[in-house]
Amino acid sequence: MMDTGSLLNAGKLPRDLLPWKSKSGHMNAMLYNGDAFLFDAHSGGSFHTVSDEGFGGFTIMDDSDSELSRHLQAVWLAEGRILKTGLGFGCFVRMALGNSNVEHIDVIEKDPEIASHFGRQFRDNPRVTIHVQDAFDFVIGDQKWNLAWHDIYCDGNNGLARMHFDLMIKFRKAAKIQSAWAIDRWARRLLRVGGVRTF
């Protein structure tokens, strides 16, 4: 397993994937103050907005050390087959690939443009499978994962903790342990009462 500094460096988005705009112009990505940012240009959100020559908008994610640090516990706990909802920049996937205990990562990403552009870095990696569909519609079947890490996005992050809660309920029988980028304390307690192991 790599040390913290190496994991954070592994999480950085390859700069040759920037700048980027979706065909609709709704999503875009660029370097801002040395970090990669993914923006929703048409969001109703009010958090951290940036405007720069047609790029910018509401921040969905970035690859700053402070942002990447939020994934570290999941990376350290990951082993065997793991599940990641939401690809984004692929930061978590790159970090988890640095954990030698990780055999395979299934990623569910509903935006085909995000999956195509930011997923191409994993196209030839036999340890990664990207499923282009909504995680809420994903058919689990008999699949099992040792860990599920949920990190999806909704406009302005309104209701995000509830969406992560619902995903953890959905995957409770398929994943040994789960957590999410945003989940409330009350939700963790409720999930544990319901038999969902969280961290």
- Note the pLDDT tens digit of each residue in 78-132: 999 999 999 999 999 999 999 999 999 999 999 999 999 999 999 999 999 999 9
| pTM to 2 decimal places | 0.91
Give the number of other CB atoms < 10 A from CB of residue 150.
Answer: 27
Q: Are 69 and 11 in contact (CB under 8 A)?
A: no
In the chain, the domains with their CATH numbers are: 13-63 (no CATH), 67-193 (3.40.50.150)
